[in-house]
A = this chain, B = another copy of it.
Amino acid sequence: MYVESNFQRVRIDLAYDGGAFAGWAKQPGLVTVQGCLEQALALITRVDLQVTVAGRTDAGVHASAQTVHVDIPRENWARIPGRSKRAPKIALETRLRGAMTRVLADAEAQLGLPSTMRGFMQGAISIHHVSAVSADFDARFSALSRRYEYLIADNSLHQALPVQRLSCWQVESSLDIDYMNNAARELLGLHDFLSFCKPRVGATTIRELRELEFERRDDAVIAARIVADAFCHNMVRSLVGSLVMLGAGERSYEWLLDRIENPQRDATVKLAPANGLSLAEISYPEAAHYKTQAERTRNTRKLPVEKRPK
Contact = CB atoms under 8 A, between A and B. Distances in A.
Interface of A: 15-17, 19-22, 30-31, 59, 62, 64-65, 111-114, 116-117, 120, 122-126, 128, 159-163, 165-167, 170, 218, 278
Given A112-B112, A114-B112, A162 B124 contact: yes
A211 B75 CA distance: 59
A165 B114 contact: no
A64 B165 contact: no
Given A128-B159, A159-B65, A22 B165 contact: no
12 contacts: A15-B162, A16-B162, A19-B120, A21-B116, A31-B114, A62-B163, A65-B159, A122-B165, A123-B170, A126-B161, A163-B166, A163-B278
B160 A123 contact: yes
A36 to B, nearest CB: 12
Contacts of A123: 160, 162, 165, 170
A17 B126 contact: no
A163 B159 contact: no
Contacts of A21: 116
A31 B113 CA distance: 13
A22 to B, nearest CB: 4
Contacts of A117: 19-20, 111
Given A114-B111, A166-B166, A160 B126 contact: yes
Contact of A162 (B112, B126, B161): B126
Given A17-B166, A111-B117, 16 more contacts: A15-B160, A16-B162, A17-B163, A31-B116, A62-B162, A64-B161, A64-B163, A65-B159, A112-B114, A113-B114, A123-B160, A124-B165, A163-B166, A163-B167, A163-B278, A218-B218
Given A123-B165, A159-B126, A30 B116 contact: yes
Nearest to A17: B162
A237 to B, nearest CB: 16
Contact of A22 (B113, B116, B167): B116
